[in-house]
Structure 1
């Protein structure tokens, strides 16, 4: 069972949020919402500052999105094509983000933070378009602030319920870190499954066609 001393939460809470969000934005299959919810519950107890958590999430997300946006500007459609070949989920997300951008313009950068599958693919795709760098980062910042605030304030709002859940975990010999690790593993397994879906479908179609 992994224990987190209160002093460690205060000292490393912001750094953990920054690292988690950055890795997620770079494409590592890790969920970031659960950690923000946990950080929000700690904010409600007064051991963490909401501003520090929000700033950490903003910096991590902007850095990760900036890397993908710059890659899109440098490599253009070749990068989009390479990413689309990686998995059906990425290819579908690219097509959806492209259609929404054509229909609604720059605001899709902010809205994509709340749509599963679009948050990661939108920055590199936007890098291949004519969107101005300033416009991209302004909308990206707005989306990140709204997204991070939603999960952090949600954790603060339901702090009592989360505290009771943590107590229930501890009564069974587990902690919130164990829960976060389990959620990360489940999310990773889900991402891997999504990547293999088109291969299974294509194999099924080829067998049907061969018959």
Structure 2
């Protein structure tokens, strides 16, 4: 974990110092939309720079929050426009038969709100959250409510945790 943070710091620090919180917005937007971007590491790096006074924690917090909400919503739209057709067409090639997809849809319809909130904290699920919810036709207003709550919780943990406990991470640099 520490080596990952150290490597992430080396990669993201120059971008964060040059472009500020907009870097975090773009990273989290892309990650939340479904791209394999290391958002957690970037958020931690941004929070640590804010703790050093080099970035505004308010700017970092809102860039991450809005990036998460807008990225998830974009992923939802992509999933809604064509995800279910693709899953039904190509799913059997990876073992996702029509019966399994129907079972996933049934589970999602019962506990979808909690799945969306919890997925924000689980790597890979965080990236696929919106795509899956859109593909499974979760009503957008329910998705927006759940992913908004998950985004606020996740942003608070990953932005404010490192910010307030920066001295724990001081030896990484």
Q: Same fold (TM over 0.5)?
A: yes
Asked if 2 retains the 8 angstrom alpha-carbon contact of 1:111 and 1:143, the reply is yes
- In the other structure, the counterpart of 2:163 is 156
Partner Cα separation in structure 1 for residue 123 and residue 102 of structure 2: 14
Assess, with a 3 A threshold, how the Cα gap between structure 1 residues 100 and 111 changes in structure 2: closer, same or farther.
Answer: farther
Alignment: residue pair count: 158
Structure 1 counterpart SS, 2:125: coil
- In the other structure, the counterpart of 1:25 is 32
Q: Verify: 1:51 aligned to 2:58, yes or no.
A: yes
Q: How does 1:173-188 map to 2 (within 5 A)?
A: none
In angstroms, what is the RMSD of aligned CA positions? Answer: 3.2
Q: Which runs of 4+ in 1 moved over 4 A?
A: 1-5, 81-88, 94-100
Asked if 2 retains the 8 angstrom alpha-carbon contact of 1:61 and 1:144, the reply is yes
| Bigger Rg over Cα | 1
Structure 2 gap segments, 5+ residues each = 1-9, 96-100
Q: CA deviation at 1:76?
A: 4.5
- In the other structure, the counterpart of 2:5 is none
Q: CA deviation at 1:22?
A: 1.7
Assess, with a 3 A threshold, how the Cα gap between structure 1 residues 117 and 145 changes in structure 2: closer, same or farther.
Answer: same
Assess, with a 3 A threshold, how the Cα gap between structure 1 residues 128 and 28 changes in structure 2: closer, same or farther.
Answer: closer
Q: CA deviation at 1:129?
A: 3.6
TM-score (norm 2): 0.73
Structure 1 gap segments, 5+ residues each = 89-93, 167-211
Asked if 2 retains the 8 angstrom alpha-carbon contact of 1:39 and 1:155, the reply is no
Partner Cα separation in structure 2 for residue 40 and residue 86 of structure 1: 42
TM-score (norm 1): 0.61
